Amino acid sequence: MKTPYLAELVRRMRLDNPTVSIKVGENGAATVVRQERDLDHPFVLFVRERDLAAAVTTIGEGCRDALWPDGSVEAAGFNLLLVHLDEVVATRDTSDPLRIADQGLEWPETPRRADSWD
């Protein structure tokens, strides 16, 4: 199965952190792992190719004209999705794996503990 959206997500994530790893199953489901400097555990993300494609399109359609009017819907969707991932890592408890569904990133409800910011 081809996974162009997963490949692009990982390519973009590796721009900031070349140690990002991905394991893709035959059905297009993937586990993406990266170690963050500010976390004492790996950041794990579960995502399916079809959900990622839908999320990138939905997010991009909602933000492109306002934020990246010269770019494609997909580029805008990836840009904002990565902003959301960074925001989650900075503000939420990521000890459990995160998930990208067809509407975008599912945010954990639990805030990040203040002592984990050190």
Residue 4 has pLDDT above 80, yes or no: yes
Q: Total domain count for the chain?
A: 1
* pLDDT of amino acid 115: 54
State the Cα–Cα distance between residues 47 and 53, nearest whole angstrom: 10
* pLDDT of amino acid 114: 62
Residue 15 has pLDDT above 70, yes or no: yes
Q: Is residue 118 part of a domain?
A: no
42-48 and 29-35 beta bridge pairing: antiparallel
pTM flag (> 0.85): yes
Tell me the residue range of the domain where 54 lies: 4-110
Q: Is residue 41 part of a domain?
A: yes
